[in-house]
Amino acid sequence: LTASYVRLTRVRESLEQRTGVTVRPEVAKRVAKAVLELDYEPDETARALRGGKSRTLGVVFPKVSNIFFSQALQLIGEGARRRGYTVVPLTHEDSLEQQNEDLLTLRRCRAEGVIVTGAPGTTLQNVRSALPHMPIVALDSFFSPEIESVHLQNRQAARAATKHLLDHGYRSIACVYARPDIFSYRERSSGYADAMTAQGLSPQFLCAEDYPHLEAEIRTQFSTKWPEALLVLSDVAALTVLGILGGLPALTVVRQPIARMMEATLSALFRQIDNGAAAGSQTISIPGELVIRQSCGCP
């Protein structure tokens, strides 16, 4: 009930215009002035508490530093902004435990909806026990028919791609991938198998539990003889294969030590937060690392 409270109260009224009530221009002016001199901005946390809606969307991905997920996040962010929502991304690195933590965080933040790409082994109980009655869409994954799911027609796509290779006349076609625990890859490998067996050919899998192992597998398995063609099930696997085949330009580059940069950034920020933003503003400039490869003419 101080003067400022009174003025803040006025602020509300200007918003009442939306309800169709007319406001005297005189009042509107007064309010506008108050807003300006108080530097007033509504508090979304209070608004969320009072209104029971946080206008927040949760996103649970294995990681965001991956071309597919970062693009997805970009698009989700744009769509969310368009509707006045804000996005909170959380990553689980394919760990069920961390994923449960993520889902709980979202519940405590009272997110209004969640988009999740589940870690391997995710079950309906898993998700629903953390997030009962929460709007959920599974992206690029699938745990139960009870949860909406958006994903590529993985199986069919892989079948079509394999068929294309078969039509070229190749008969020895290997399917190369890692992480067989991940939904999309299982589906894709099935599609490949479908196409092969339909031609009376036996599928030839080169599959490893993760990408480092995949590289090793490829080197040993294919050391003597490569198949005529390869169906590679993911971007990362393709890069692995190209690396081995020498299909990647060896560019000499300046590498940004991004981990160190972000570490510096975060510690600077938290120092400000802890010290009340009063810390001496300094500039942290980090040396780049010249990574010499062949493109400059070096051997």
Partner DNA sequence: CTGTTAGCGCGTTCAG
Partner DNA sequence: CTGAACGCGCTAACAG
Per CB under 8 A, contacts with a second copy among 127-156 are 132-137, 139-140, 142, 145-154, 156
**Residue 201 and residue 219: Cα distance in Å, rounded?**
24
Q: Is 124 a binder of DNA (CB under 7 A)?
A: no
Options 3, 39, 50, 167; binder of DNA; rule CB under 7 A: 50
CB of 171 to a second copy, least distance (A): 13
What is the CB neighbour count within 10 angstroms for residue 135?
Answer: 13
Residue whose entry in the numeric block shows the structure tokens 């169709």: 20
Q: Is 194 a binder of DNA (CB under 7 A)?
A: no
Options 11, 96, 244, 268; binder of a second copy; rule CB under 8 A: 268
CB-based burial, 207-217: b 16+ in 10 Å, e otherwise: bbeebeebbeb
Q: Is 24 a binder of DNA (CB under 7 A)?
A: yes
What is the CB neighbour count within 10 angstroms for residue 28?
Answer: 15
What is the CB neighbour count within 10 angstroms for residue 58?
Answer: 25
Contact segment (CB under 8 A) with a second copy among 5-13, 15-23, 38-46, 206-214 equals: 38-46
Q: Which among a second copy, DNA, none contacts residue 1 (Cβ within 5 to 8 A by kind)?
A: DNA
Provide the pairing of β-strand 289-291 with 253-255.
Answer: antiparallel
Residues shown for the chain: 299
Q: Which two tokens stand for residue 64?
A: 């965001």
Q: Which among a second copy, DNA, none contacts residue 15 (Cβ within 5 to 8 A by kind)?
A: DNA
**22 vs 114, beta carbon nearer a second copy:** 114
Q: What residues from 95 to 134 belong to the interface with a second copy (CB under 8 A)?
A: 104-105, 107-110, 112-115, 132-134
| Distances from the Cα of 281 to the Cα of 230, 264, 266, 269, 270, angstroms | 54, 13, 14, 10, 13
Binding residues vs DNA (CB under 7 A): 1, 6, 8-10, 12-13, 15-16, 21-24, 26-27, 40-43, 46-47, 49-52
